[in-house]
């Protein structure tokens, strides 16, 4: 009995310091709360801190309403040289890239056969000329005898008819000789106008026909852009409507206007042909005949917002930009899908997605997510 009381007294003595510590801790906590401290467990979850970002207000500017099409350049001063006769090429006088004047010889087709034909016609004409001289003398003699009453009227008429037939025959031979000489002239192929000789696909010894391309002669100067506009926009086409010729970087290298609108629709492509003249004086090394280029038709001008190029990101083929919008007195970044137009300087023209006056985020966009708090800085 006494032993049990001693053990109980020892345990009770060891438990007093623990109870004392719990009492001190509770008092300290009560003092902290009384002095204005907050219970950490009572605080709610903390959100991400607001991120400082630079913003730029989307401004409204006058922008062009445009559409780009693939066009083909053609030259009205470019000639495809084809022979007007058949034969074998015996000589080529020029090389590709040579500058030639109008009428300069380009190639020679073997004229031997045609020369023989000309010589034969000339000999026939000479014989007929001799016949004409005899017929004229015969007519003069019969005419004198008829006047003296020695020759009959029938003999006089026969002499006159023979003379007229000889003269007509000589005129016919003259025309035939001229024709054969002109034909002989075609065996020497000449430049139809001054220009630059193009590729020469034939060689000496080749036999050519009237459908064989020999070369081209291009005169540097005005080109025409052939633009095929879908029928849906054909009603908006007007003569003198502005057209811009673009390079691969999207910069305008030539300015022009619509000079022709086809009254017909292409049955295959359902497009309308539009032509635009381009002065090629300053773009000789850029624009060439038969070249595919980008042509931009300017339909009109309208007011629309623009945003810096650096503020636009592309995800999965869709363009986006962050806009800082007010939310309960603070700003939150919202990601807006954009429909963009052309580039005007360092800005994109926005067709849809942003309104003038919106605060567009232009820095730190790679760190933003939709709904993230931000601190706009101009």
Task: Write the pLDDT tens digit of every residue in 191-233.
Answer: 998 988 999 999 999 999 999 999 999 887 778 999 999 999 9
Mean pLDDT of 328-354: 84
312 falls within a domain? yes
Band (pLDDT 50/70/90 cuts) for residue 280 is low
11 falls within a domain? no
Other beta carbons less than 10 A from residue 59's beta carbon? 13
Q: 159, 194, 216 — which closes off a domain?
A: 216
Q: Please give the distance of CA 18 from its chain centroid, rounded to a whole number.
A: 91
Band (pLDDT 50/70/90 cuts) for residue 251 is confident
Q: Whose CA is closest to 128, among 79, 56, 176?
A: 176
> 363: domain CATH number?
2.40.420.20
| β-bridge partners, 226 | 72, 275
Torsion of CA 314, 316, 318, 321, to 10 degrees: -40
Range of the domain at 370: 51-62+303-377
Bridging pattern class, strands 51-57 and 372-377: parallel
Domain total for the chain? 3
pLDDT over 70, % of the chain: 86
5 falls within a domain? no
Summary mean pLDDT of the chain? 83
Does the pTM of the predicted model rise above 0.85?
no
CB 294 within 8 A of CB 241: no
Q: Are residues 107 and 189 in the same domain?
A: yes
Other beta carbons less than 10 A from residue 271's beta carbon? 18
Q: Are residues 290 and 227 in the same domain?
A: yes
32 falls within a domain? no
Is residue 143 over pLDDT 50?
yes
Band (pLDDT 50/70/90 cuts) for residue 45 is low
Is residue 67 over pLDDT 80?
yes
Q: Are residues 348 and 327 in the same domain?
A: yes
Q: Are residues 267 and 309 in the same domain?
A: no
> 132: domain CATH number?
2.40.50.100
Q: 301, 332, 363 — which closes off a domain?
A: 301
């Amino acid at each position: 009995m006494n032993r049990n009381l001693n053990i109980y007294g020892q345990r009770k003595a060891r438990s007093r310091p623990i109870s004392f510590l719990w009492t001190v801790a509770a008092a300290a906590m009560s003092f902290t709360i009384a002095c204005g401290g907050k219970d950490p467990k009572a605080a709610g979850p903390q959100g991400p801190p607001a991120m400082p970002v630079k913003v730029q207000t989307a401004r409204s500017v006058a922008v062009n309403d445009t559409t780009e099409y693939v066009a083909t350049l053609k030259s009205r001063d470019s000639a495809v040289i084809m022979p007007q006769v058949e034969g074998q090429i015996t000589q080529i006088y020029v090389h590709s890239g040579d500058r030639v004047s109008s009428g300069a010889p380009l190639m020679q087709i073997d004229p031997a056969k045609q020369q023989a034909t000309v010589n034969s016609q000339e000999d026939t004409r000479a014989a007929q000329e001799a016949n004409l001289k005899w017929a004229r003398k015969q007519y003069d003699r019969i005419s004198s005898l008829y006047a003296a009453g020695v020759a009959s009227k029938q003999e006089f008429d026969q002499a006159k008819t023979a003379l007229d037939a000889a003269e007509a025959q000589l005129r016919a031979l003259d025309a035939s000789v001229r024709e054969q000489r002109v034909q002989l002239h075609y065996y020497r192929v000449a430049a139809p106008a001054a220009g630059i000789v193009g590729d020469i696909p034939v060689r000496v010894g080749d036999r050519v026909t009237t459908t064989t391309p020999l070369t081209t002669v291009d005169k540097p100067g005005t080109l025409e852009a052939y633009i095929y506009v879908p029928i849906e926009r054909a009603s908006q086409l007007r003569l003198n409507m502005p057209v811009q010729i673009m390079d691969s970087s999207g910069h305008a290298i030539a300015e022009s206007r619509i000079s022709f609108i086809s009254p017909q629709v292409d049955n295959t492509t359902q497009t309308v042909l539009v032509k635009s003249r381009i002065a090629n004086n300053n773009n000789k090394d850029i624009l060439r005949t038969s070249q595919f280029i980008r042509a931009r038709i300017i339909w009109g001008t309208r007011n629309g917002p623009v945003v810096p190029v650096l503020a636009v990101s592309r995800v999965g083929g869709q363009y986006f930009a962050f806009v800082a919008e007010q939310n309960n007195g603070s700003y939150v970044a919202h990601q807006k899908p954009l429909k963009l137009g052309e580039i005007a300087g360092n800005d994109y023209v926005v067709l849809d997605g942003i309104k003038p006056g919106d605060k567009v985020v232009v820095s730190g966009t790679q760190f933003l997510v939709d709904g993230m708090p931000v601190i706009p800085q101009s």
